[in-house]
């Protein structure tokens, strides 16, 4: 066992998440990840200054980035939770899968069937889980 950046106990088997988007709904995802046994919120990527400040305050053990691409470069992040406006889902999910991460994306997965098929094919090619979050 090791300690994460906030000093909490972390097992080697814990799934390390990166969260993209810490707006209204992203804050709920951040709390859910941080409060789940076996999961660690390792990083948050958020474009707005206010969102980054809120993420840093809410998750002092997580690194906070202004660009999700910098977060995807980290080898220790295994899964990425995407909670941004729908028109950004495809770009970010494809980049995360390309970077070798499992992906959880808010609904809708993407906005076109073509993009759906491309993400599914990329997830299969990379051997990664692609899941869509439905809150109900």
pLDDT of res. 106: 95
- Whether the upstream peptide bond of residue 54 has omega within 30° of 0, thus cis, is no
Residue-averaged pLDDT of the chain: 92
Neighbours of 42 (CB within 10 A): 25
Nearest to 117 by CA among 90, 135, 78: 90
User: Of 101, 107, 124, 126, which one is the catalytic site residue?
Assistant: 107
What pLDDT, on the 0 to 100 scale, is given for residue 10?
53
Tens of pLDDT along 56-75?
999 999 999 999 999 999 99
124 is catalytic: no
**pLDDT in the model for residue 136:** 62
pLDDT bucket at 44, cuts 50 / 70 / 90? very high
Whether residue 5 is predicted with pLDDT greater than 50 in this model: the reply is no
pTM of the predicted model as reported, rounded to 2 decimal places: 0.90
Counting beta carbons within 10 angstroms of the beta carbon of residue 71, is it exposed (0 to 12), middle (13 to 18) or buried (19 or more)? buried
Helices and strands of the chain, counted as H and E runs? 5, 8
């Amino acid at each position: 066992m090791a300690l994460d950046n906030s000093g909490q106990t972390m097992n080697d088997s814990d799934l390390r998440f990166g969260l993209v988007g810490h707006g209204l709904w992203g804050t709920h995802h951040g709390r859910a990840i941080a409060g789940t046994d076996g999961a660690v919120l390792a990083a948050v990527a958020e474009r707005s200054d206010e969102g980054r400040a809120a993420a840093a305050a809410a998750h002092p053990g997580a690194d906070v980035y202004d660009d999700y691409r910098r977060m995807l470069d980290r080898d220790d992040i295994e899964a990425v939770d995407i909670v941004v406006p729908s028109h950004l889902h495809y770009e970010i999910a494809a980049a995360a899968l390309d970077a070798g991460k499992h992906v959880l994306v808010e609904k809708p997965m993407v906005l076109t069937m073509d993009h759906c098929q491309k993400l599914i094919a990329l997830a299969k090619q990379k051997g990664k889980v692609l899941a869509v979050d439905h809150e109900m």
